[in-house]
Structure 1
């Protein structure tokens, strides 16, 4: 007999996997100049080194959660970790830009499995009393990767070889695979049959929308490829809604979106991710291109922003019940909106870093509240049997928000400024920061309209799952 499903083991395994996937998403950006020289890659190839991961990751998040509900969350999670590990090795061994982009696509597929199922596995393993702390802790692991990503990437690029950006994942993945098989409990979603048509429609719809957003930065919003992709994606998503209303086993149950709290919570997630990460995309370049910091120096100077969630997220998980999740979410969104406006006011070509520092700390505090409570608030409006699907929806919309924010704010930057001079870069940055502040301010309004969380019927502590070893 072997006992599986311990809450602590589940948290450590899934948290480490989420850390690995989050770190990889950020660490690669600092290695792009070195990759360009080594592989003689074009600018478009470099863009796809980042976009290939983002594209496959964003469009398959929801499908991965659905497959986990149908075929077993532990089984699909292990497959995702295995694919991410193999793809990381393939990326490290790449000798051409095309091979690297293909490996990044596979990494995105693996990452799309890891994120939603990590959350579902953790929530299933803990009782209601520890649920908020567990979600905040898992968010903290991802936040740690966000905090360390730019600095670790800069260190690898300056002191070593870009291949180690990818080799770093391989021993972690190899260690996680047997532990996941031995210690994670298997669980399934509520539906016995897979809604194949609904899954294909929603995946195709997300592909069209996300691909259009990704290409808009290079081709422009009026390009036929961008317009056609966005239109096709919107049409497929409309077809998804029509089909799900009559599907016997819907992949996206319509009743979930009739819950005002569920819909508004996901709107908050999309808008915050778009506003904040669209701004971060430009701010990290501002530190290097305008203020002339090296990759390592720029990474260190973003730590007050990116490390604050590590301090705030655990506290939000502890005090969420006492102070109210909704109230803290409103505060988190408001802090982030205010910080972007603050940065827009003080940003100048020769500004002292000390003038940027307070706004970064405020932004990090708001981000910590959001990271800790966003998924928790969304799951509060889903039943225990719907948590896998709700997690997939939330994660998918958050990633679509990142792509949307980068595309929109990059366009604002290009229209109002550019890379020609420090002054033009700063002009574009300020306009983009105000745009990001507006997006997060809209998220604050949505957060204020979220109704109080309904009471949940869940046992205090789940019984251990016992399985007979083979």
Structure 2
């Protein structure tokens, strides 16, 4: 175990505290990715800007989160997990307050980008704490519990955001983050971080190229709806972004200390798991964006009512994720990852029954339950398969890569929203969004069925070892 405490408490007590810290730290980062969704109409009503501003409020956070989470994973492995976690929590508290006090849409978008920087420090360090403190089936179960609560944050965000928006103001969607952050910092007082792992140089050029690449491409995807593909306002950032992303790949192949070690992808489960992550999390981001937006702006529901529609998904995640994590540890992840997304796709397809006037029980409840079961069956086994494919010493960067993949998939899905399904929010817009979401989930299931193996990756540690990386060991 790499996390210890001063007075030497019982191991089980320490493990529970580590798990609680990991859950709470990641919870705020995941929550803030979706809590904003139902508050977007209220934000645009007060600050202006329409759909493009709504997209940017979501994507400004995801751009910096996705671009810097790899760097954060490297820092987690290099400097120690709890140190990076503390920095992220403090930064997240400050930037959350800035978001809540934003006087203009532009200020809010910048504050959201800074919030994503802090959020990038939270997720890889939190999951690396779990993989360091647990082994074998206990690790799979702990990952399942972590996944249950962080996935619950992903889905519960619209519920919490709706309540705060309707009962107080959209600004409280951000300010409320201070509460779980304070609790997490208190729990961390009894823990002592693992020692720094050396003086390996940080890949700052890789971080810059990744951030510029993602920022340029996403800016072009969103703003093409306003300026058109032929405008220099779109073409210049697009070209800069594509060149930067290409430079990022070249940099990671050639540098002695890459931010994203490409050798990790030699592991079949790591590569296939991340490919499935692209499809699954692009679908989740798209689906959980279009449904609440349509229910408010198309069907006339309040922010709270729109958020409550997806509540059963959260309940199923909390109730069943640790169980599915245990089953994945016992039987392997492959068929859970294959069947789960396809079941979730069926749930989204069932939501095509939604029309005006909206009838929750008659039009949505059955689909929501099927969707929730499929997602719960997917996420914990997916996480376990990816982290089980790499050596524990590289769990921080492996977690960071997977989370970067999921966030980037989500931000690209949101950025392409207008181009793929249009900008007029009506029943046809919702149907196109649901069908696209279902199709992406089916792709994720097929990738898992073909690519994932239940072979124990720990028997082949050399598959992910990069001989240039001192952390990889002999």
- Matching residue of 2:49: 42
Instruction: Indicate whether 1:154 and 2:162 are aligned.
Output: yes
What is the aligned residue count? 449
Name the counterpart of 2:255.
247
Distance 2:410 2:349 in 1: 19
Q: CA deviation at 1:372?
A: 1.3
Question: CA 1:200–1:358 in 2, change beyond 3 Å: closer, same or farther?
Answer: same
Q: Which residue of 2 aligns with 1:263?
A: 271
Q: 1:132 and 1:230 mapped to 2: Cα distance?
A: 41
The structural deviation recorded for 1:382 is 1.2
1:182 corresponds to: 190
Deviation at 1:271, TM superposition (A): 0.6
Distance 1:117 1:217, change over 3 A: farther
The answer to whether residue 416 in structure 2 is matched with residue 395 in structure 1 is no
Q: Which residue of 1 aligns with 2:466?
A: none
8 Å Cα contact 2:265/2:271 also seen in 1:
yes
Identify which of 446, 451, 454 aligns with 2:453.
451
Deviation at 1:326, TM superposition (A): 0.9
The reply to whether residue 91 of structure 1 matches residue 99 of structure 2 is yes
Q: CA RMSD in A?
A: 2.7
* Residue of structure 2 equivalent to 1:282: 290
1:352 corresponds to which residue?
Answer: 359
Question: Could you state the TM-score of these two structures normalised by the residue count of structure 2?
Answer: 0.86
Does structure 1 retain, via aligned residues, the 8 Å contact 2:317–2:376?
yes
Shift of 1:362: 1.0
Alignment of 1:12-411 (within 5 A): 12-38=20-46, 40-43=47-50, 44-186=52-194, 192-216=200-224, 218-219=226-227, 223-344=231-352, 346-350=353-357, 352-353=359-360, 354-411=362-419
After superposition, the Cα gap between the structure-2 partners of 1:307 and 1:267, relative to the gap in structure 1 and judged at 3 Å, is same
TM (norm. structure 1) is 0.87
Q: Is the 8 A contact 1:278 1:407 kept in 2?
A: no
Unaligned runs of 5+ in 1: 420-424, 459-470
Q: In structure 1, the residue corresponding to 2:202 is in which secondary structure?
A: coil
- 1:120-160 deviations in Å (ceiling 9; x for gaps): 11211222231111111111111232343222222222222
Show structure 2 runs of 5+ residues with no match: 1-5, 461-474
CA distance in structure 1 between the aligned counterparts of 2:268 and 2:49, rounded to whole angstroms: 46
Task: Give the SS at the match of 2:254.
Answer: coil
Deviations along 1:200-231, one digit per CA (max 9) or x if unpaired, are 33343333344444445555556544444344
